[in-house]
Chain A
Amino acid sequence: MKTRTYLPGIALVLGIAVLSYFLSTINASFDPLVISIIIAMLLGNVFARKDYFQDGIEMALKIFLPVGIACYGTQLSVHELQGAQLLSILAVFIGLFGFTLLIARTFNINLKASVLLASGLSVCGATAIAVISPLIGARREDTSIAIISVMMLGLTGMIFFPLVSELLALTKGEFNFLAGTTLPMLGQVKVAAGSVCPECLAEAVRIKLIRMSFLFFLVTAAVFISGREKKTVTVPWFVIVFVLLAVLSNVTNILLQWNEQLKALSSFCLSAGLAALGFTVDFDSIIEEGMVPLGAILFSWGVVMLLMYLVRNLF
């Protein structure tokens, strides 16, 4: 009886996830998470009978998002946390995170949405938002708008960076640093870097991976921040698994052979989870938020890049 109740929702979510996965393979810049949330939002608000899918979607949310987060632990690598650029990357990361948080608060965006925007912009876009949002108990609308806004920003960066590089006559190293530190999503880094030169790709991706590893600390911090709000720190099971898998994959080689599968599973599960999330979000509430979050992160992003440009020219 229950299975029948859950089935339509779970099936729909899985279907969207599969579709997103295949669509994402068309181009590196296509992020399955973003595609799934957009498809789910369009379906949920335009066509679907919500009641019919409601229970399954709620169940999918409870299943796929934690699993996806837990599995994502394997994608974090601390091996790259070394080298000369680490401090610079950290500085840009802190700058982006802090400034975004400040600007978002100035724009009257609520604290949780601000944290999501800052995380998404400074770490790894949709993934980071998907991971952080259950931890801080963010509203679904905030999660959706944060993902779409960060995506929009990333795409803009991806398209304009080669042009900017050309105009400012950036060296390859500089371009790599710019793309790696400021583009939110890995696919976008790949496209941007790939369009400039094939050898740039590896370096930019390396920098981006370093940024991604900061997610580990961010997750930990988010757990404690949320715990402080609630007065008691309760660590969810998926975070424990996430940390465990991250430690395992960095310390041992046990998971190395399952790495690709786990990566695909993580991406798929997060995709499904976000599809479920997008399905439950009311378009109206997102529309009411408007372009303010995008405006806020664009402003903060622009300021940080301007600072970087100034630093480059001064030193």
Chain B
Amino acid sequence: MGKRRIVYRLIGMFIAFALLITVPMTFTILTQVNKIISEEEELKSPESEEYSKIHKEFTSRLVEQVIPYVFYILIMALMLSMLFARKMLVSLKELQRGSKAIMDGDLDIKLQAAGDDELGAVIGAFNEMASSLRQKTIDLQKKDIYVNAMLDPLWVVDEANRVTDINPAFTSLFGYSREEIMGASIFDFFDEHNAAIVRGQLKDRRDRGLSSIYEVNIISRDGSSIPVLISGSPIMTAGEITGKIGIFKDFREQRQLRNELQRSKEYVETVMDSIEDQLLVIDKDFRIVTANKIAFTNSRGPVLGEFCYAAVHDSIRPCWAEGHECPAQTVFLTGANFRTIHQHIGPDGGKRFHEIVASPIKDQSGNVQQVIELLRDVTDRVLHEADIYLKNTELVTLNSISRLLSSSLRADEIFSTVLDRMIELIKMDGGGLFFIDEKKKDMVCHYHKGISDEYVRMIGRIRLGEDIPGKVALTGQIITTSDISTDRRIERSVMKYSGMKGYCCIPVKGKERIIGVFCLFSFKPHTFTVEEESILVSIGEMTGIALENIKLYEKMRELYEHQRQRREQEQAQLLSLTTKLGSATDLRYILGRVMEQVREICSADYSWMLVRGGSDDFLLKASSNPSEDIGRVIFTRGISSIEGYALEKRAPVVITDIRNETKFFIPPEVSGVSYHSALAVPMLIGEKSVGVITLYYLGLREFRDEELHFLRIIANMLAVSLERYDYYIASINEKSLSETILQSVADGIVTVDTGGRILAVNKSFEQMTGISPEAGVGMPLCDTLRYHDENTDLCLILGESLQAALAGNKNNRDAVMMTPRASKISVRISSSPVLGPDNTVTGVATLMRDISREKEIDAMKTEIIRSVSHGFRTPLSAIVGMTEMILEGDIDETKEKQYLSVILSEGMRLSDMVSDLLSIARIESGMERIRPEQFDLKDFLDELLFSLNTAIEKKQASVRYDIGGVSVLYADPGKLKQVMLNIIDNSLTFSDPGCHIDIRVKKSDTDIEIAIQDTGWGIPEEEMPHLKERFFRGRHGEKVKGSGLGLFLCSEILRLHGGGMDIRSVPGQGTGITIHLPHREMP
């Protein structure tokens, strides 16, 4: 590349040189030469002086022309040299800058290359060098940082063992500063002993180029000796040892730990030796690693290194080989503590028990490395425990028997269970229970176990005193024998040859007598201990007592059952009474029935109930005799009676023999029947006395306390019912009164609870909303009105009103309601809170008044005022305007007359309008009454047409009528005339001259039709619906003056008559109006 570039440059320079110098120079020389030659040629005489002068000056002139080129070339050379020198200069300056920066320590310098030539390459190399230098410096700095950051002290020493460098950790551990230590000999920091160690290490290892680690003490600056671990290495440079480096590890802590470890070991050994049990540490081969003093003492041979089973148990086989679970093995497998008791044969040949507690010794990763075994001789304890266990079993058995005896009342269960327990307790093979039959003086086996039924039948009945059971039953003493077959005491017994060996017979004793006998046997000889015998006797006694108890219990139970049945009977009677008292409201009937029942319950012959009347007389309230006259006075005030006495005493009074009774007055109803005994029970409610119930008996009768008590209850119950009945009657009366008031109110009233649910509604409400009390009560009020979509707003308003009332505020609101009959009515909702006794709001009473009529009247008034003022304005403005003009006097007479006639006609119109309005007002207010009378129709029509004659002539109209067989009419002739006049006047007014008017009268079954048909202008279809409206004036009305009240008035009058009016019209052809009048005869 470089060579090619040089060639290109040479070519470029050559071309530039040629273009810039050679071409112009050649041109100049040629020009000058040509010039001189032409000058010479001009002279044409080569020999002339001028010619030779030119010739001579040829060279100098040429030189003169060329000289500037020299200057040009010089300057150009200068410029070119500047051009080339520039790049070199810039590069050199850049290098100079870079060098200076590196000298100043700025290694981040990056030089800019002026080009890609050699100088550029030099600058590139410089940049690389600087970058490499920077990296090396950073590495060195990092190493320096690492060394300084080392927590372990470090020193570097030279070949002569003089310190050449240390790190800050060295200063912080030993206290020597860098300045103090630099150049010092390393042996200055050791005492003689340690110096010798260091020398030895240096000589043996370091000088041979080897590293080593060893422990020495270094003397710190404050004179203390610090134990350290030195890690020393030689520093090799080109294969030669040029120095050493030593890294120190502070060993004070380790040394302290070492000492503590030693102390701990000693402590552990002391503890182990102080334990009274044998303590062994066993490895995985089950060899003893460590043992305490006791273990050594107890062992008859060597301990350490021996198998644990050999050293401890004198066994040649491991424990598991003898069927025991080896604790060491278990702990090695499970890693958990293990406790067990081993039985071994002791040195004396006796059984020995060892309790072994084995615990794992784990390494850091949790693996069991060794096992500690603690062995204790527990032979005494184990034997003792076995004894306790036996006793305990006995106790448990006894306990279970006694629990059974005390808890069970079933004799069968008791005997079979006790027999089983006894067999189990003394490990017998079977047994049986014999019961004594006192009467027959013998015994029969009732329960047995371990022997067949045939054998039992073979034994049959045993007489008292015979065989072993008979003797025991007689004497009450237990008999036991270890082997009945060989027992010489027993000579004759069924059992002797039955294969039984061990045998015992236990008496079952009651309080005073022997009830039966338990017999137990085994097929092996059994020696009965004293304890066993005493236990068996106890069981026999307990069983006897339990048997007696069961019998006693059964007797008690019978008694209790009898009592219970009596109570139930009483309660049933009371219930029946209560039911009767509570089930009906006809007290008289009920009381009669009750007295009858009381009489029956108490087995009396007659009973009555007397109550105190208004003047303290005793009145008959009820009697067991239904034919009695209830309500009559039995005792007047002041008469001494049993009943009076009972009330006074406030306690039942018993008269055993009333025949001989002189103290009390006996009424004839009683004395006449010759009752013997009487019982008067007062009816009391707390302190209040209501009356007395008296029972009479024909025979003599004594009363038990519970009977009296029962009667008192009945009397009090009746008193309460009586009182409640009175209250009930009073409340019914009161409620009935309120109900009547409520139902008679014309407005709808509904009461709701605080949840907005209906409590009661009255009839008006039902009529208004269709909600009956049966359907509505319990329903939310608002929900009941949702039968129509348009009632949504009503529900909202009602809800607000209820809310306000529930908050304690009375309020009135107006709303529109859609009735179930789909008619819209306006209602005023007035809600008031219903307050409870403590003034809390317990509900809301809402009154809904139909104010549709009021609203309608209101609207009607507004409409009348609006239409009247509209109708009056037009004529009045004409009258006022024209009157003003006449008063101003600016008009001629003709005009004035014309105006006055207009004023008159408008005035007349106003007058007509007023009279029409008055008529309408009277009709609408209901003041107008029709006065119907019978009149002749033809006369009526003639008179009518006569009064219209002027108008008919004016229009040149032809009016005809046809009464069609109807001669008389029953109506108000004045009013009907008004109607007819109005209609015919309209026909004339809204017709062209020469029109025809036909009046036809027709009679149907129900009414009379008067049809008036004209040939007038007709009425546009769109105006038809408005014809009967007040002040309506159609399109033709604009041409003709009128009030717009005529047809409205006509329809109102006809409505008063109970009739109506139909209008039909075809524009351009005419209008037909038919009047309907109900067909009436004169009453």
Contacts and interface: CB of A to CB of B under 8 A. Distances in A.
Given A29-B71, A155-B75, A163-B23, A291 B82 contact: yes
B68 A29 contact: yes
Interface in B13-44: 20, 23-25, 27-28, 31-32
B691 to A, nearest CB: 138
B24 A163 contact: yes
Contacts of B340: none
A167 to B, nearest CB: 10
Interface string A142-167: 00000011011001101110110010
A26 interface: yes
A195 B75 contact: no
A162 to B, nearest CB: 7
Nearest to A41: B78
B787 to A, nearest CB: 98
Contacts of A26: 67
A30 B86 CA distance: 26
B86 A163 contact: no
Given A288-B86, A288-B90, A159 B79 contact: no
B79 A294 contact: yes
A290 B28 CA distance: 30
B928 to A, nearest CB: 117
A287 B76 contact: no
Given A162-B27, A162-B31, A290 B82 contact: yes
Interface string B72-87: 1001101100110110
A195 B31 contact: yes
A290 B86 contact: yes
Contact of B78 (A27, A29, A38, A163): A38
B91 to A, nearest CB: 12
Contacts of A149: 79
B82 A155 contact: no
A103 B830 CA distance: 103
A152 B68 contact: no
B76 A152 contact: yes
Given A162-B31, A195-B28, A286 B82 contact: yes
A284 interface: yes
Contacts of A156: 20, 72
A165 to B, nearest CB: 10
Contacts of A160: 24
Nearest to A188: B68
Contacts of A162: 24, 27-28, 31
B65 interface: yes
B75 A152 contact: yes
A27 B31 contact: no
A191 to B, nearest CB: 6
B24 A27 contact: no
B51 interface: no
A158 B78 contact: no
Contacts of B79: 148-149, 152, 291, 294
A26 B69 CA distance: 13
A279 to B, nearest CB: 16
Nearest to B82: A287
B518 to A, nearest CB: 139
A151 B78 CA distance: 12
Interface string A254-290: 0000000000000000000000000000001011101
Contacts of A287: 82, 85-86, 89
Contacts of A148: 75, 78-79
Interface string A68-81: 00000000000000
A151 B23 CA distance: 20
B64 to A, nearest CB: 7
A162 B29 CA distance: 12
Given A162-B27, A291-B79, A195 B71 contact: no
Contacts of B83: 290-291
A168 to B, nearest CB: 14
Nearest to A164: B24
Contact of B65 (A155, A195, A290): A195
Given A152-B79, A195-B31, A159 B24 contact: yes
Contacts of A159: 24-25, 28, 68-69, 72
Contact of A288 (B23, B24, B69, B89): B89
A290 B672 CA distance: 170
Interface string A179-197: 0000000000001000100
A190 to B, nearest CB: 10
Contacts of A27: 64, 67-68, 71
B423 to A, nearest CB: 131
A26 B27 CA distance: 22
A155 B71 contact: yes
A95 to B, nearest CB: 25
A38 B82 CA distance: 13
B23 A284 contact: no
Contacts of A163: 23-24, 27-28
A87 to B, nearest CB: 32
Q: Which of B65, B75, B79, B83 has the most CB of A within 10 A?
A: B75
A155 B68 contact: yes
Contacts of A155: 68, 71-72, 75-76
B34 to A, nearest CB: 11
A201 to B, nearest CB: 14
Contacts of B89: 284, 287-288
Contacts of B90: 288
B82 A30 contact: no
Contacts of B32: 195
Q: Which of B71, B72, B83 has the most CB of A within 10 A?
A: B71
Q: Which of A34, A159, A160, A191 has the most CB of B within 10 A?
A: A159
Contacts of B69: 159
Contacts of B20: 156
A34 B74 CA distance: 12
Contacts of A191: 68
Given A195-B31, A288-B89, A151 B75 contact: yes
Nearest to A197: B35
A121 B851 CA distance: 117
B31 to A, nearest CB: 7
A112 B105 CA distance: 38
Contacts of B68: 27, 29, 155, 158-159, 191
Interface string B81-110: 011011001100100000000000000000
Nearest to A187: B68
A159 B65 CA distance: 10
Q: Which of B64, B68, B72, B76 has the most CB of A within 10 A?
A: B68
Nearest to A294: B79
A27 B93 CA distance: 40
A129 to B, nearest CB: 15
A38 B75 CA distance: 9
Interface in B345-372: none
A137 to B, nearest CB: 25
A163 B64 CA distance: 17
B293 to A, nearest CB: 103
B102 to A, nearest CB: 22
A287 B71 CA distance: 20
Contacts of B31: 162, 166, 195
Contacts of A290: 82-83, 86
9 contacts: A26-B67, A29-B67, A29-B68, A158-B72, A162-B24, A162-B27, A162-B28, A288-B89, A290-B86
Interface of A: 26-27, 29-30, 34, 38, 148-149, 151-152, 155-156, 158-160, 162-163, 166, 191, 195, 284, 286-288, 290-291, 294
List the 3 closest pairs (A to B, CB-CB), nearest first.
Answer: A29-B68, A155-B72, A159-B24
Given A148-B79, A163-B24, A287-B86, 4 more contacts: A27-B64, A30-B71, A38-B78, A287-B82
Interface of B: 20, 23-25, 27-28, 31-32, 64-65, 67-69, 71-72, 75-76, 78-79, 82-83, 85-86, 89-90, 93
